[in-house]
Structure 1
């Protein structure tokens, strides 16, 4: 039994993450013990496992879809881009260094070995492992060192299903072109296509699907309809336009809408902190890049960032510092989370992340910050507003509190709150209590819905993904691929015959 499958995509944001999650949920509902896997993930959206390892948030969501506890082996390599063109490399949940693109290339053979070890371990412990690729498998300039797409598939013997986003247009060209650019050896592992985000009459699409099958020798294994409102743990900035856009703006529990504005930092991280606000009836969450976009907000949230000092400079360049100061002086609510909390303090000393040394903060909280080389990773538990709060921490900046009221691990002064805890707003009781105070300070007749449960909303969306696969994909064909891999060589000789190339090791 192959017991594994790789979900690749024609582009970033084609839907690999949600399709992987949907397959995991479909399988676990059939009684299969399944685990997700992504060898290499480039994302600023991460979470901490119970044993203190940092992995991509998408793999945490996929583990939830599989109803298993997330672990470092599910995402052995995580790249976190910084402000200087370099990325922090997180290996098996722990940071191991900062690299540029060329430096990272030299590390790939070692990282592929570690990733294959993790995949083999998961395959031993689970009935099935559903792997997610990264970007596109046809990035031919990167194929020699690929560890997440065809490089992984070749090394581990994985059948590959390629997802294409038809909503963008050009899906047939993208699928044909993806296959045409692969070597003959890579092509052998591509078993079929999944058309994603389809709107309209399937009868009009049918001739194109048949022609794609004829041209490539691979069948279309499903046409998945567009599912609006699935703000499931967006992985990267391509998802931000929809990540917080699906709140029920008019709710039955209050006459007023509560408006939340969030500065869209260039190195924004862990923006899933906003998901729980966005799903609250009567709460409108929107991104802000100009001072006037903060003007009518009842709450401004400064989110996490991979580059606190650089994004603080961006905030000032955009003219957002003055309205924040005016809000604080007028007693209008501001919440800072992790990097956003660090910005609210009096001074930031950073010789680690930015190398900038001492930098003046916004001065809205009585705190100072000093960056340490050791990253703080944890799953803290505490209490606020009489409610139990669970969260997670991922930061280099260590905050010293020099006054104000205690608030989780951070502090509060007037209408300004700050905490290093991500995920706090996912706790329903705490979120409702916090929003009640925000509404009171903002003078809004807003009452949080007493029966809104964030965990239940996420579970319902994961079930919708399972339904998506079960109802619109050829699950018999998927199961055959999982059980037996690709059966024989699939033909494909496009004009120009790029398939005639051969592979030698990992080099074209």
Structure 2
């Protein structure tokens, strides 16, 4: 079997990433050689591949669903917002430039071929490539330069399934409207729908499924039930808006350990704390005000794409003062904020800025981004991690801690993913409990890697049990059904980019 398809969504956070991962895991379990792909990703949650390339964290998770080591081809273009108007453009795992929203349109023409070439390499290597769209294909103001949704689907002749989130309401209007707003050539590739996050009586939903089939002439390939506990390497901080405190509230010992994660405006790699929530008796919540720190045994100051700006936000909200005297772990950008001074002529251009002074360290921003997969030791435990930063921190005192330092009840490191190392995580939490005076004992047998595999299998099960998998196979092998009806108004026809010169277009694969 050989083929590809595109998983699009009616909105951001509709479930594209998890549906893509679920299809990948389901196919991999059938023995299919499958890989994920996302042409353009806008996310502050990223990962470093074995050869030092930076890609979206969601694509690394999808690669794990396929049983693969991730590669830059799986996410050739990554946008990392530093403000509402400017983003760092990462191309094939390496930073290219910082551009504003309008400047990116000039860059985009050069990137289109990069994205198509990456997909072509994957299609040459694997039997199936499951592509994920970005945002919504119905963002008609962006269609002219689109390289992630229908522009990609047209370029590579991909059948498209559209995922809608029923939990947020208006799913049928969103599905219908998504198709109706597209121009005819784009509509012809929309094969059908998947409804995500359903909870309730299926009998009440059935009439709507019949009506959307009649109205659009397209199949509803499946209805995925709501599934708790799937906080799995999400790429969008919007997912935090409705995220409750997570973790096991039943203590393993006699007490729970409460972790407060500061939700910075430009928070990055917040998935670092998912491993903490996997521990019995550890409850993790995201906070934005000093009062929310009152009962916290540990405060995590996570990564940031805008260290100096987010440090100013900490001061403006009063959180900077509230951190003093508390048990704190700073990771990457959070570690930089804890230092005495920050010299930033790169990210913000602010020059010398006073840090919080909770750790004896200084920060100097370098033009070259550090990308790596370091290995070290702490608490006598081996620690494998990854790092992504421009800020270079020099510890000038305190006790060594991974690549950073510790002073009293404050720890700092630039390493992401360190808490996924089970022995290290348990030793660190035991130390936190001792410092905070909490009677807490970490469980001895929690494997975060095994938990991630269980979650990926749960996503594969969702596809296997709740989606018409025979129809998915037909799409992969045969493309979008021919003769799909056009919906009024059908969108105003626009001149589509010409990809006819690319090897990935035209002809049967």
TM-score tier, shorter chain, comes to over 0.9
CA displacement at 1:109 relative to structure 2: 1.9
5+ residue gaps, structure 1, are: 328-332
Give the SS at the match of 1:79. strand
CA distance in 2 between counterparts of 1:306 and 1:402 reads 24
Asked whether 1:161 is paired with 2:161, we answer: yes
Asked whether 1:136 is paired with 2:136, we answer: yes
Partner of 1:58: 58
CA displacement at 1:504 relative to structure 2: 2.3
CA displacement at 1:161 relative to structure 2: 0.3
Deviations 1:265-285 (A, max 9, x none): 000000000100111110111
CA distance in 2 between counterparts of 1:76 and 1:372 reads 24
Partner of 2:42: 42
CA distance in 2 between counterparts of 1:344 and 1:292 reads 20
2:172–2:212 CA contact under 8 A, matched in 1:
yes
Deviations 1:223-267 (A, max 9, x none): 11011110001111111145573311113x211110111111000
CA distance in 2 between counterparts of 1:2 and 1:140 reads 31
1:245–1:278 CA contact under 8 A, matched in 2:
no
CA distance in 2 between counterparts of 1:245 and 1:17 reads 22
CA displacement at 1:421 relative to structure 2: 0.1
After superposition, residues 355-370 of structure 1 pair within 5 angstroms as 355-370=349-364
RMSD, matched Cα: 1.2
Give the SS at the match of 1:35. strand
Deviations 1:369-415 (A, max 9, x none): 00011000000000000000010000000011111111111011111
Question: Which range moves more in the overlay, 409-418 or 469-478?
Answer: 409-418
Partner of 1:498: 490
1:77–1:115 CA contact under 8 A, matched in 2:
yes
Partner of 1:28: 28
CA displacement at 1:188 relative to structure 2: 0.5
CA distance in 2 between counterparts of 1:114 and 1:146 reads 13
2:179–2:487 CA contact under 8 A, matched in 1:
no
Partner of 1:484: 478
1:79–1:90 CA contact under 8 A, matched in 2:
yes
Partner of 1:303: 302
5+ residue gaps, structure 2, are: 499-509
2:245–2:286 CA contact under 8 A, matched in 1:
no
Give the SS at the match of 1:7. strand
Question: Which range moves more in the overlay, 419-428 or 257-266?
Answer: 257-266
CA distance in 2 between counterparts of 1:222 and 1:295 reads 45
After superposition, residues 268-283 of structure 1 pair within 5 angstroms as 268-283=267-282
Residue 373 of structure 2: which of 376, 379, 403 is its match?
A: 379
1:350–1:358 CA contact under 8 A, matched in 2:
yes
CA distance in 2 between counterparts of 1:365 and 1:486 reads 58
Deviations 1:109-156 (A, max 9, x none): 221110000001000000100000000000000000000000000001
Give the SS at the match of 1:203. helix
Partner of 2:421: 427
CA distance in 1 between counterparts of 2:93 and 2:478 reads 32
Partner of 2:332: 338
2:188–2:486 CA contact under 8 A, matched in 1:
no
Give the SS at the match of 2:119. helix
CA distance in 2 between counterparts of 1:263 and 1:206 reads 42
After superposition, residues 58-97 of structure 1 pair within 5 angstroms as 58-83=58-83, 85-97=85-97
CA displacement at 1:493 relative to structure 2: 3.3
Give the SS at the match of 1:403. coil
CA distance in 1 between counterparts of 2:121 and 2:460 reads 25
1:244–1:274 CA contact under 8 A, matched in 2:
no
Give the 3 Å change call, closer, same or farther, for CA 493–244 of structure 1 in structure 2: closer
1:2–1:485 CA contact under 8 A, matched in 2:
no
CA distance in 2 between counterparts of 1:85 and 1:504 reads 27
CA distance in 2 between counterparts of 1:364 and 1:505 reads 55
CA displacement at 1:2 relative to structure 2: 5.8
CA distance in 1 between counterparts of 2:394 and 2:43 reads 28
CA displacement at 1:323 relative to structure 2: 2.1
Partner of 2:393: 399
Deviations 1:458-495 (A, max 9, x none): 1000000000000000000000000110131201233x
Deviations 1:274-298 (A, max 9, x none): 1001111101111221112112211
After superposition, residues 434-445 of structure 1 pair within 5 angstroms as 434-445=428-439
Asked whether 1:217 is paired with 2:236, we answer: no
CA distance in 2 between counterparts of 1:420 and 1:493 reads 51
CA distance in 2 between counterparts of 1:321 and 1:486 reads 54
2:3–2:129 CA contact under 8 A, matched in 1:
yes
2:89–2:95 CA contact under 8 A, matched in 1:
yes
Give the 3 Å change call, closer, same or farther, for CA 469–124 of structure 1 in structure 2: same
Q: Normalising by structure 1, report the TM-score.
A: 0.96
1:37–1:119 CA contact under 8 A, matched in 2:
yes
Give the SS at the match of 2:476. helix
Partner of 1:330: none
CA displacement at 1:203 relative to structure 2: 1.4
Partner of 1:179: 179
Deviations 1:175-200 (A, max 9, x none): 11000000000000000000111111
CA distance in 1 between counterparts of 2:409 and 2:223 reads 49
CA displacement at 1:6 relative to structure 2: 0.0
CA displacement at 1:83 relative to structure 2: 2.9
Give the 3 Å change call, closer, same or farther, for CA 415–326 of structure 1 in structure 2: closer
2:151–2:496 CA contact under 8 A, matched in 1:
no
CA distance in 2 between counterparts of 1:223 and 1:493 reads 23
Asked whether 1:323 is paired with 2:314, we answer: no
